[in-house]
Amino acid sequence: MTRAAILVATVMLGVSGLPSPCRAQGSPGQGRPGGGPAAMDPSAALQMPFEQFARARGVSADRLARALAIPEDEDLSQPLSVILRKHGLSRNDVQAAMAKANPVAAEAAHKNWAKIRLKFVLWGLVFLVAMVLLATRPITKPLRAAMLAASVVIFGVWLGVEPNAPGTVKDALVLYGQEGVIFPPRVVAFIGFMLMSILGNKVFCGWGCHFGTLQDLLWQVPTRKYKVPFRLSNVMRFGFLAAIALGALVFATDILEPIDPFRIFSFSAIAAVAIGVAAVLLVLSLWVYRPWCTLLCPFGAVSWVGERISLWRPRVNHKTCIDCKACERACPTQSMAGLRAGARLAQDCFACGACMKACPVQAIQWGLKPPADRPAEDAEGVET
Q: For residues 375 and 109, give the distance between their C-alpha atoms in angstroms, rounded to a whole number.
A: 57
Give the SS3 label for residue 360. coil
Q: Find the helix or strand (DSSP H, E) in which 313 lies.
A: strand 313-316
Closer residue to ligand SF4 in complex, CB, 42/208: 208
Residue 156 is given by DSSP the state I
Shortest Cβ distance from residue 77 to ligand SF4 (Å)? 50
* Maximum distance among all Cα pairs of the chain, rounded to whole angstroms: 87
Indicate whether 355 belongs to the interface with ligand SF4 (CB under 6 A): yes
Shortest Cβ distance from residue 205 to ligand SF4 (Å)? 3
Instruction: Scan residues 335-354 and list those touching ligand SF4 (CB under 6 A).
Output: 335-336, 339, 349-354
Contact 64, 97 (CB under 8 A): yes
Among 116, 152, 278, 331, binds ligand SF4 (CB under 6 A): 331
Look at the chain and count its residues: 384
Closer residue to ligand SF4 in complex, CB, 46/152: 152
Burial label, 142 (beta-carbon count in 10 A; 0-12, 13-18, 19+): exposed
Indicate whether 159 belongs to the interface with ligand SF4 (CB under 6 A): no
Indicate whether 167 belongs to the interface with ligand SF4 (CB under 6 A): no
Which backbone phi and psi does 270 adopt, to 5 degrees? -85, 125
Indicate whether 293 belongs to the interface with ligand SF4 (CB under 6 A): yes
Q: Which of 192, 191, 168, 165 has its CA nearest to residue 292?
A: 165
Which residue's CB comes closest to ligand SF4?
A: 212
Shortest Cβ distance from residue 215 to ligand SF4 (Å)? 7
Closer residue to ligand SF4 in complex, CB, 116/349: 349
Closer residue to ligand SF4 in complex, CB, 131/297: 297
Q: Find the helix or strand (DSSP H, E) in which 366 lies.
A: strand 364-367
Site stretch for ligand SF4 (CB under 6 A), options 5-13, 170-178, 273-281, 286-294: 286-294
Closer residue to ligand SF4 in complex, CB, 245/297: 297
Indicate whether 189 belongs to the interface with ligand SF4 (CB under 6 A): no
Q: For residues 170 and 302, give the distance between their C-alpha atoms in angstroms, rounded to a whole number.
A: 11
Contact 191, 133 (CB under 8 A): no
- Applying CB under 6 A, the residues found at the interface with ligand SF4 are 165-166, 205, 209, 211-212, 290, 292-293, 297, 299-300, 314, 330-333, 335-336, 339, 349-355
